[in-house]
Each structure stands twice: as C-alpha cells, then as structure tokens.
Amino acid sequence: MSKIHSTAIVDKNAKLASNVEVGPYCIIGPNVEIGEGSILVSHVVVDGHTKIGKNNRIAPFASIGQPPQDLKYKGEPTRVEIGDNNIIREYVTINCGTVGGHAVTVVGNNNMLMAYSHVAHDCVVNNNVVMANNVSLAGHVVIEDYVVLGGFTGVTQFNRVGKHAFIGAYSLIRQDFPPFFTGKGLDDFSVQSVNAVGLSRRGFSEETVRELKNAYKLLYVKKGLVLKDAVDKLKEQAKDSAELAYLLDFILSSKTGIVR
C-alpha cells in the first residue's frame, strides 16, 4: 500500500504502485502514474499525462507535467515520461510535450537533475546524464547518454549533445555538440578536447581514446581543413571503429550544424 501523507492531495484516478511514498503537501493529478519505490519527498507537483517509473526520488518543490512555456500550446493531452532510478532535486521543472513536437517530453534512467534545472517541452534526456544546478534545456533538445552539463549551462532549441560529452559551467550551446568531446564558453563557446577522463572512467580503451584524439585534431586543430574534408578523412578511419562511426553519423545527421 502506498504511503501518502495526510496533507498530500492525490486524485482518486491517479495510479500509484503499492510502495510509492508521497510526502507532505504533494499534489498529484488524475492522469499520473508512478511506479514502485518512487518517493516524492514533499511539496512536489505532478500533473498532466505523466508516467514516472520505478525508484525515483523527487525532492521538494519539483514540478513535473505542467504545461509547456509555449504560446502555441492549447491544452492538448501531451505527455511526460520518466524512467527509473532518477534523482530529481529541488525546484526542477519538466514540462509536457507539444503537438508541434513529439507530444512527449522524455527523461530516461539513472539521471541526476540538480536544483533548478529545466527540461522544456519535447526534450529527450537519455540515460546516465548529469544536469548540474540551473541547467536549462530549451524545447526539442536531445541529451544523449552519459552527458555532463555544468551549472548554468543552456542549450538552445532543436540542438543535440552527443554521448559522453562534458560541458563546462556557464556555457551556451547553439548548435549540435559532438559526442566524446569537452566544451565550454558563453559567447565564445568552443570544443576544447576529448573527454579522456570520462571515457577512461567508463572503460574505454586507450586505443579508442587515441582514435578519438586523432578525430578531434582533424575536426578542430588542423587549420584550413574544411568540415567536408575532415569528414572524408574520418570515413576511412571509421571503418574499423564503432566510436568513430558514431561520431561520423552524428556529424552527418546534424540539422543545425555542429559546434566548430
């Protein structure tokens, strides 16, 4: 049986697993589903068509499933879907999707969203992502696996951040940021290096890190080498490397252009 504090307001139509904990002054709407072992500490609002998975811990004053900050939104029954084992800290906001996007905002598994971070409509935050304090994602942003976003970082609409990227604090990302690299800066945002420390911690081999460093030199160090020529050189190297093949596909599939 769920443990619901006497001051919490839980709509009779909400679906809560048997061992969900709902703390003081939480409000849960009628179209909400919460999975086993999840804890809403206190003063959490979960509304809209929202599905939350197992073993999530949601801190005070988080707001999930509220309407998007989009003037085109007219109350359509769009959704929020959150996976398992996430830590969602104080004052985090996660808005539902829009019919102009995918109609759903997604947060995957094993993520940590620190205080005051914002996930706007139609975003996809994949797995094992860390969003530090005050990180803001504009609408339609995709954050891939194992990305770390430093505090006060912003990502503008329709951009992606690739797997295993590390972004320094106080940065603003205006184009797709390639996987495996580090970046920082506000008006002068740029790619800095290969995320060698993060990759090593996650078990990538020294050979793979060397391959990625060579790719970084092609893309960012060799002066006068236009992107098309760098990509052509990468195509040869990517034949024998899954990581380089993924990097190449990320670049070729970019709709907003990559940071360069």
Exactly one of 139, 150, 154, 162 is catalytic; name it: 139
Active-site residue 121, yes or no? yes
- Residues 6 or more apart in contact with residue 174 via CB below 8 angstroms: 156, 159, 189, 259
The reported pLDDT for the residue numbered 19 is: 95
Active-site residue 122, yes or no? yes
The reported pLDDT for the residue numbered 51 is: 98
The reported pLDDT for the residue numbered 224 is: 78
| Domain covering 3-143 in this structure, CATH number | 2.160.10.10
CA distances (Å), origin 250, targets 9, 47, 203: 45, 35, 22
In this prediction, the residues of the chain whose per-residue pLDDT falls under 50 are: none
Distance of CA 25 to the CA centre of its chain: 28
The reported pLDDT for the residue numbered 236 is: 87
The reported pLDDT for the residue numbered 96 is: 98
Q: Which CATH fold topology does 199-252 show?
A: Udp N-acetylglucosamine O-acyltransferase; Domain 2 (1.20.1180)
The reported pLDDT for the residue numbered 243 is: 97
Exactly one of 122, 140, 162, 164 is catalytic; name it: 122
Ordered strands of the 112-113 beta sheet: 3-4, 21-22, 39-40, 57-58, 87-88, 112-113, 130-131, 148-149, 166-167, 181-184, 190-194
How many residues are recorded in the chain?
260
Overall pTM surpassing 0.95 (yes/no): yes
The reported pLDDT for the residue numbered 195 is: 98
The reported pLDDT for the residue numbered 98 is: 98
**If you search the block for the tokens 């078990």, which residue do you land on?**
203
Listed in order, the ranges of the chain carrying CATH 2.160.10.10 are: 3-143
The reported pLDDT for the residue numbered 38 is: 98
Distance of CA 98 to the CA centre of its chain: 17
